[in-house]
Structure 1
């Protein structure tokens, strides 16, 4: 427990997250909801104090004076409890939204339960709605059920057990509770003003939904995720579900925008969208956790996207509703988290050419197919079109997986993933007797492999490099054996692992690359890349070293089990958008690999890269 006062900008890792499978809110340790886009993640915010303390808006319930705070989720749920320990007593604020379509209570209500568990506690209430990222004019007036705030298109009704005052566009109040007393505050958002609610029943059913959904196993089960990290894997699974859109099945990279990769820097991006590059490893994580429905929904969603206008039109990322126009713009009126500007909404990387996405899509298709998902004729036609397109464009430059803004290059990983697209499609076609020009595909696959080996491996460096003609290293080199491009015992793979350890690793953290990307400033170490190193070491037979690294990395998760996109190696602070889906996917898959190499059984076919010394796809394919 830490002594906490009001902080304009708490550390990123201090936040908890709640949501309803359509949007999420970030709750600070002082009881302030500092981020809440509505009605969906990629929509404008009602509260954005995390991006501008003065102009962003918040909804706070907390003590007026310094206090000690403790945070926890109620069991394996996304119901958050923040407990305040003051000199005179203790109180807990319980925050949640009912999951959309899963609980028989309105999803557009943020429930805040306040309970005094000892002594007497005084609390302040502050509601400061700032619709449309603070752009909209807001009117506030008392109504029969509470206080109504309206913007241009949105409105909120705060249903309160206490009298509230309106002053300078803010709604404030005070309450005092004694041991055993409970009060409810309901923030009813557009469409839920008149909905019938039973707060206690809503809480009970929300807890029941998450508890029933989360991965569980008996002590006698041979769980692939068994180990000291099992509970953190479950929390990572709950984060992924929280970021999954109930209508489409798409999974957001993060619920936030513009949390900086360096405090005060310009590397601030909007991550409230779905990146297709996440597909393969996401499906692997979901299927091995036993969440087949979510994996199938996600699979169906991106297969529909592939149907739209042909392979050439497939974007690296889409909105959670499948929209392609993600025009990037800056919110000049926001100062940014701790002065980190610009604050961006939208993401122009959607318009980049990233050839790696085709291989990542085929990884996901192959993963589903190996788990028993049959492909219908229409789906196979789309896959075949993708492979034929890859045959045409694999040797053209692109922006790469890291979305560089310094010009297109021949990235090694992009070419390897084009190889993967052909490789997995060949395996599926041969195994399922699907119509395909297998000899032509095999010829192209071998052509790509030869090209990468000749131009992507640097003898002087002793490693695969980031792009043709450079000596820069890239953490994606750790994935080459996992996707089956070369076996783990190949000296070029082991040399790449050693070179990355020497050049990109600091303590347990791995940088993405050491080349120029056309963007000024520095960044933290990528959590996902640190997981890739764990996987590469484990599958190379260096299991004890891998486990030690993994356990050290897990120490940087916050007490709630959440982690951001990056970590500052110097002080352990979280950086970038938060919580980050790919970071949590990395944790799940690293636990899976460590479990598997120690003799645990996966719930289906062996994970990618698990056959030591052999390609993933059988030679006969």
Structure 2
């Protein structure tokens, strides 16, 4: 049942999503199997990608450390960390190891999260000929950066940004991209335009040790299941890397415009924070015991609520709470495998999605019942949430774009109504907890009204299932959440019938589609990974545990070579598609493993 962090890879010409993630909660970078950094935004997750090769077809936008005549590559994370090591061997027995990390540790009573990528080249055997190629771009591929030279550094300069590379590798070797044989360990520090107070070697050594210890100490605090421990730990580290520490926001993914399927133009910018993800992220963090990240994320959500005009929430916000995420196209980037467009921003922020009110209330409910959290669990916060409940109660029967963000149609979506029920139901629970009896009764009446309406208008007798919209006939995967959200018990025949109908309608091989009906872009082609995890948990809930565990093992087998998942998967080939790494998918691994695993007490 246990996975592994170590994998062997062969050279590939075509881009793929077998990418390693390094970061520190301020910046992040994706490293491919050839030790090239091919994606990295500055000065934060939503910033300009100085390394954009992942979505470009020109020979630029990357930071490569490679060896001539390479015949094999293997890579692994340093155990229980976000430090990536790549070992390359040439045809003559030469070998080097490249160590990549972004410094992250506690210093002077606060988290040290510099805009810095450290790369170390360590000689292992023979006379390997190493080349360093540093080719950043700016303005989403529109401009190259000017290069200026110092005695021990290079400056890559644009009107908006300066990236300084300080190193003990001879500067001329990097400028000319000339091969050299390493002697011991060489260090390259790519950072903001500041002089290093120490030598690159000393910075690299000390920051490596402190970053390694920081990650290992954090992992020790996690509550993990007995089974699938490496998979859960890697998912937890990825979730932490996807958290923008400054505000607490958790991005949906690190990338933009990796298509959901080949040539579909289903290319979206996911470097933002979706409110609908909040409950699942909070649930995973809570069950892992990662309370500090959970609390920061809740604080981010509370800030959104406090700043919402007329108490109206939108589906997605920027990592700093930005409400406006106007969508444009980066014309100078060709797209992943040439499959443009590359989009910047996401017009989903303009959509009407009524599920957001329940999503927010559901997430914040944790504060009132969790004694570990320091937020005030008082009536004032409850009163601040009530207007969101009023929005839910007033709009649950109003058509919207729904959880899947249809851009060309609106319906009374069952999932949206379900989350509006959640808003009222959780407000009733909070009111009872605060001994506000009249408020509890009022919100319970609202919850009962919506519950009855869903049961009357979203149940399809002919299909023996709930359907995706009032009076409709189509099935969607969000119906699987009815038990998870406590709308129906797992043994309710209507829930069992719905799970069976979802499987019959949406399962392709061992994977689940989010829906089967054509949308604005035609019929879906690839499965949606989080939906497969929802199905796994639903199967387990209704007693089909063996099937659930088989499907879960299959999902783990189809992660990228370093243990991560994107948004989508081709059910025929198992190839990953969609933005990467997808927070929703990593949360799916955590929650499913915790749901299916044996208890420690059963085996020890």
TM range (shorter): over 0.9
Aligned-partner Cα distance in 2 for 1:3–1:439:
60
* Structure 2 residue matching 1:185: 3-state secondary structure: strand
Query: Contact conserved, 2:357 with 2:391, CA < 8 A, in 1?
Result: no
User: 1:72 aligned to 69, 76, 88, which one?
Assistant: 76
Q: Does 1:363 align with 2:370?
A: no
Aligned-partner Cα distance in 2 for 1:319–1:548:
37
Aligned to 2:4: none
Q: Does 1:343 align with 2:342?
A: yes
Cα distance change of structure 1 residues 273 and 106 upon mapping to structure 2, 3 Å threshold: closer
What's the offset of the Cα at 1:359?
A: 1.4
Aligned-partner Cα distance in 2 for 1:557–1:408:
34
C-alpha distance after superposition, 1:326-374 (max 9, x if no partner) = 1000112211011211110100001111111111222212233332345
Query: Contact conserved, 1:137 with 1:152, CA < 8 A, in 2?
Result: no
| Superposition pairs of residues 22-33 of structure 1, within 5 angstroms | 22-33=26-37
Cα distance change of structure 1 residues 302 and 101 upon mapping to structure 2, 3 Å threshold: farther
User: 1:97 aligned to 94, 99, 102, which one?
Assistant: 102
Aligned to 2:186: 183
What's the offset of the Cα at 1:288?
A: 1.2
Query: Contact conserved, 2:8 with 2:75, CA < 8 A, in 1?
Result: no
Aligned to 1:541: 543
| Superposition pairs of residues 235-246 of structure 1, within 5 angstroms | 235-246=234-245
Cα distance change of structure 1 residues 312 and 517 upon mapping to structure 2, 3 Å threshold: farther
* Structure 1 residue matching 2:40: 3-state secondary structure: strand
* Structure 2 residue matching 1:480: 3-state secondary structure: helix
Q: Does 1:420 align with 2:419?
A: no
Aligned-partner Cα distance in 2 for 1:98–1:599:
35
Structure 2 residue ranges without an equivalent (≥5):
1-6
C-alpha distance after superposition, 1:208-247 (max 9, x if no partner) = 1011011467xxxxx66111x1111011000010011111
Query: Contact conserved, 2:80 with 2:233, CA < 8 A, in 1?
Result: yes
* Structure 1 residue matching 2:285: 3-state secondary structure: helix
Cα distance change of structure 1 residues 454 and 212 upon mapping to structure 2, 3 Å threshold: same
**Between structures 1 and 2, the one with greater helix share:** 2
Aligned to 2:21: 17
Aligned-partner Cα distance in 2 for 1:101–1:324:
31
Number of aligned positions between the proteins: 587
Cα distance change of structure 1 residues 317 and 435 upon mapping to structure 2, 3 Å threshold: farther
Aligned to 1:36: 40
What's the offset of the Cα at 1:523?
A: 3.9
Q: Does 1:460 align with 2:459?
A: no
Aligned-partner Cα distance in 1 for 2:463–2:120:
59
Q: Does 1:315 align with 2:314?
A: yes
User: 2:87 aligned to 79, 83, 101, which one?
Assistant: 83
What's the offset of the Cα at 1:84?
A: 0.7
Aligned-partner Cα distance in 2 for 1:592–1:522:
30
Structure 1 length as normaliser, TM-score? 0.90
Q: Does 1:529 align with 2:528?
A: no
Aligned to 2:520: 518
Aligned-partner Cα distance in 1 for 2:116–2:599:
46
What's the offset of the Cα at 1:512?
A: 0.4
Aligned-partner Cα distance in 2 for 1:568–1:301:
34
Aligned to 1:162: 169
Aligned to 1:615: none
* Structure 1 residue matching 2:251: 3-state secondary structure: coil
Aligned to 2:150: 143
* Structure 1 residue matching 2:15: 3-state secondary structure: coil
Q: Quick check: 344-353 or 461-470, which moved more?
A: 461-470
Structure 2 length as normaliser, TM-score? 0.93
* Structure 1 residue matching 2:560: 3-state secondary structure: coil
Structure 1 residue ranges without an equivalent (≥5):
218-222, 603-621
